[in-house]
Amino acid sequence: MSFSIEGKTAIVTGAANGVGLAIARHFVDQGANVMFADIDEARLAHECGAITEDSGNIRYFAGDLRERLTLANLLSATIDSFDRVDILVNASRQVLPSDPLDLDDTTLEALVLQNVTNTFRLSQMVAKRMIKQSADKKEGQAGAIVNLSSIAARVTQPELLGFSVSMAALDQLTRSLAVSLAEYRIRVNSVALGSVMSASLKQALKDHDGYREEIEENTPLARIASPAELAQAAQFLASESAGFITGQIMTIDGGRTLLDPVNAPAH
């Protein structure tokens, strides 16, 4: 079975660091044209500059992806560079610890905007482009959208109330878009992360002694996933080998949701 995405064009948001960067790099290695998108222009320039020494199939776009106009400009830049878009990976997300009694409206709204609304806006724009560019194609995949979710959507972690709510909404968005876009041959799926060595988890491990041990004790496979493992899952869902898979939340958590207690570490 081939998971090839060679020659496809992908937009990856949150691509300046962590899991988003790992996915974007992996897609480049697999022969895809990739638009790296993030708000951190300096980091994007650094990462993409290093990659372009060996590959000319990447571009980067820096901007505040919370703005609708910025998203439209991102899509336009991708089309200008590669003529089309076949894959969208919504990997930009925000994780903010929040005590349920202290969580304010502003923080909750910011999490929903970053993790749900932006994903919907960009997915809608990209889907319209996918439909347009595949109008003459009557079979095969017209496009694939992969969202980055979290096991926080279904595991009760009070200290991540705002994030958990936004992830639950994202999972429902994934399912709803999958049904709505199926007639256009666009598939929509999510990867729900357990403990993966993301930028936020790296910081948490620095801030809390013994945190790694707690996470490993609450994970049956007794380790933290590497970003590369998530990138491979994203590639599978984006490839035509997953052509009959849509509306699914693929859980990659080392078995953690099989036994996760409420008081387990949040990441």
pLDDT digits (tens, 9 = 90+) for 1-45: 579 999 999 999 999 999 999 999 999 999 999 999 999 999 999
C-alpha 218/C-alpha 211 separation (Å) is 11
User: Kind of pairing, strands 143-150 and 87-90?
Assistant: parallel
pLDDT of residue 136: 84
Query: Given 3.20.20.70, 3.40.50.720, 3.60.10.10, 2.102.10.10, which CATH number is that of 9-258?
Result: 3.40.50.720
Residue 75 DSSP one-character state: H
Cα(159)–Cα(136) distance, integer angstroms: 50
Instruction: State residue 200's pLDDT score.
Output: 78
196 DSSP assignment:
B
Q: At what angle do helices 161-181 and 118-133 cross, to 10 degrees?
A: 20
Q: How far apart are CA 215 and CA 250, in angstroms?
A: 20
pTM of the full predicted structure?
Answer: 0.94
SS3 189: strand
pLDDT beneath 50: ranges in the chain: none
What pLDDT, on a 0 to 100 scale, did the predictor assign at position 267? 62
In single-letter form, the type of residue at position 127 comes to A
